[in-house]
Chain A
């Protein structure tokens, strides 16, 4: 009987370890925002990691302006904190491979962007 118990508990130990590993990795999927999003007008946003982004957005006068800083996502709200000062608050939406968001430049002009994901 002792023999049975030892083998049985060893098997249960292995099964428990597998279950724990499954629990720990159960929801480990990267954010769908990661990567580079761009369009044909020269607008581009790269979400580098969980904290930082770089962006190039063409403003109303037609000049490309580069931004970088940190970002955060709370539900459907996306907040870009610019290193140059100021923030952009927008709703984000990914449908298929296209991200829809609004960018606000230094002159407070809102620009609706439809960006295609071009690299992971």
Chain B
């Protein structure tokens, strides 16, 4: 356990906000008087498929707890800044269809057909400079989920951590595999009065791609000719 903690600590400490790209020239801008920014900040986008598993628990006495689980496949879209100081940030938006729901493991058929969920995550991103052919993103941040369920409109707000792996396929193309874990406060929606939840958490797994001309991969599996 101690070893894992040390590893994570080292990874976070060695994280750099792309320092080589964000160097100033030292010259002062004639107009503003501030140091001239040579590496202009920009954003890179990624989009793909995602799925989320939401667990909501109502603690009970003298019987098993109420455990409501939703499985929601969807699509996601995200962007990450480059050359921003002091840290780069990432924002992730996802839209889901609540496909399956269970109560204590028993599937629940939904009556309401028009159901959807929207999910947003935002936070600073740390990129440990460990390997060239597999890159890591670690991002602690805030998470908000709006979900129209069969019975309630849920609004969950909480803290989340994103851990992502980037596979540089070619110079422009990158495949991203992101995992997200969020612990939320789940009683901001219409369920607050009738069914307040004691614990709400969410797992997400997404597979997305990025195509960027501005931030090409220096190392990639397929070499550009």
Residues of A at the B interface (CB closer than 8 Å) are 1, 3-5, 7-8, 11-12, 15-16, 19-20, 22-23, 26-27, 29, 31-33, 73-76, 93-95, 100
**Quick check: B49 and A19 within 8 Å, CB to CB?**
yes
Closest to B73 in A: A23
Neighbour of B175 across the interface among A12, A20, A93, CB < 8 A = A12
**Quick check: B222 and A95 within 8 Å, CB to CB?**
no
Give the chain A neighbours of B107 by CB distance below 8 A. Answer: 31
Closest to B66 in A: A76
**A1-B224, A8-B222, A27-B71 known; A32 vs B105 contact (CB < 8 Å):** yes
20 A–B pairs (Cβ distance < 8 Å), ordered by A: A1-B225, A4-B171, A4-B225, A5-B170, A8-B173, A16-B207, A19-B207, A23-B51, A23-B99, A26-B53, A26-B99, A27-B99, A29-B102, A31-B105, A32-B105, A73-B103, A74-B108, A76-B103, A94-B104, A95-B63
Tell me the minimal C-beta distance from B50 to chain A in angstroms.
9
**Quick check: B100 and A3 within 8 Å, CB to CB?**
no
Give the chain A neighbours of B222 by CB distance below 8 A. Answer: 4, 7-8
Indicate whether B180 reaches chain A with its CB closer than 8 angstroms. no
Within 8 A of A (CB), among B170-225: 170-171, 173, 175, 205, 207, 209, 222-225
